[in-house]
Amino acid sequence: MRHAIFMPPLGELADPQAIVDIAIAAEESGWDGLFVWDHVLSPIDGQWEIADPWIVLAAAAANTSRIRLGPMVTPVPRRRILKLVRETATLDRLSRGRLILGLGTGDDRGREYSAVGENADPRRLGRLLDEGVEVLTALWAGDTVTHHGELFVGDVRAVPDSAHQPRIPLWFGTARHSGKPVERAARHDGIFPLTGDASKVAQIADTIEQLRGSREGFDIAVKTKPGTDAAEFAAAGATWAMHAFWPGDRPDQVLQVIKAGRPG
């Protein structure tokens, strides 16, 4: 099992230099990854400073050479797809192929849709996610794309330049343990269940194996308490433990967990 630091760039953890220090320490201490929330408004009550995930991930990438990096998760429906293509291809090139892109629909708990007049109907968001992934992967491949649906793209070729071949890995965040969200993830590279115990992870792992014929090359990432070994989740089929911090945690608390050493 691989172990990553999973943190919100909010509050004291919004300091870009602190995130760089955390990334460097994680790499030096043998950890496998650093993943950050992607929010423009806080889904958590309170007034929080919020750092842009793409800028802090770029800074982390420029100061490390081994650990995997990525947003976990980016809501495709609130992103301009061409901007997302450029950001991901550039970050993947900067990190020399270390980007893992976590995707999802997002929700309106922090008014990230309604505050700017956007419709947060879950079914619409699901359609936008599916269409966005289709367009994103086609643009990464260098195809000329025309798409008329919830998402509109007219005769565009991005000519991206990323380091990953054939493409950047896609994981999908979901609060569901069955149904369409799991089926969507099974068509790609990984899943990040936002809730659930080891029995739910085992249920997801069984479904993935049924849908794909094998779990080889597919990641199941789970949130765990910082510094734990997550053996129960590994036995259930998880491949990554995301040691999760929260708004209000301080950089020194994260560094303390990192410097205690990678579990396992």
Is-contact 107 76, C-beta < 8 A?
no
**87's tokens:** 């950001």
Total of domains in the chain: 1
Residue 208 forms part of a structural domain: yes
Residue 264 forms part of a structural domain: no
pTM over 0.85: yes
In terms of DSSP bridges, do strands 144-148 and 152-157 run parallel, antiparallel, or are they unpaired?
antiparallel
The CATH number covering residue 196 comes to 3.20.20.30
* pLDDT 10s digits, 179-212: 999 999 999 999 999 999 999 999 999 999 999 9
* pLDDT for 161: 76
* pLDDT 10s digits, 121-148: 999 999 999 999 999 999 999 999 999 9
Residue-number span of the structural domain to which 26 is assigned: 2-259
